[in-house]
Amino acid sequence: MTLREQIQQVIDDEPVAIFMKGTPERPACGNSLRALQALWSAGAPITAVDILPDPQIRQELSALSDWPTIPQVFVKGELIGGADITEELYASGDLGRRLDEALGSEREQVVKTVAVG
Amino acid sequence: MATDAIRALLEQAFPNGSVDVLDRTGGGDHFHVTVESASFEGLSLVEQHRLVNRALAAPLADGTIHELRITTKGTP
């Protein structure tokens, strides 16, 4: 599989995917941390991909998503936005509602990291 | 990049809107832009932010904007 196909597979297969700088245990950027905290507070399961190991990851991701900045959050394959939108949706309660609709309200909250490339 | 240059790009993209650009750190590469425009009406937040990102595509691509925060509002 090409790198782009691997990225697409994470987006398609994971309930909630975040492409971030660093990992949930060790976020390397304030914006990635903001998005993570909003997702966690909203009760989202989180699959994280660290984009830092290879600059190609970010290039391929942004080409796929038509979104220039990091982090990028996807729910059930759909781009939710970056840190600002994720925080805004959490604050308004819309993030919780979207997660309930997409994943059900009884969801399990697991955090994991997957590698691409 | 000076805030003025970013403001100019946003004002060009949203000619009837109101634009505010804040240099968050004073270092000229971390910005918070707030755009209020009728162009946002009926659009999702993702679509609204896409319009702002598109207006700033050049400075985002060449790295002059290292970090960008975006707030969008429809015109009341």
Interval A6-47: pLDDT, tens: 999 999 999 999 999 999 999 999 999 999 999 999 999 999
Residue type at B8?
A: A
Torsion of CA B63, A58, A111, A22, to 10 degrees: -50
pLDDT of residue B2: 83
Enumerate chain A positions whose Cβ falls within 8 A of a Cβ in B: 31, 66-69, 79-85, 88-89
Q: Does domain B3-73 have CATH number 3.30.300.90?
A: yes
ipTM for the whole complex: 0.90
Reported as a single tens digit per residue, the pLDDT across A36-45 is 999 999 999 9
pTM: 0.94
Residues 6+ apart with CB under 8 A from A71: A18, A19, A20, A21, A29, A31, A32, A35, A36, A82, A83, A86
Which residues form the domain of A104? Answer: 3-113
pLDDT of residue A104: 95
CATH code for position A57: 3.40.30.10
Domain range summary for chain B, segments of one domain joined by + = 3-73
Question: Which residue positions in chain B have pLDDT lower than 50?
Answer: none
Cβ-based contacts under 8 A for chains A and B:
30
| Least CB–CB distance from A84: residue in B60, B61, B69 | B69
**Record: contact B49-A85, CB cut-off 8 A:** yes
Q: What percent of chain A has pLDDT over 90?
A: 99
As for how many domains chain A has, the answer is 1
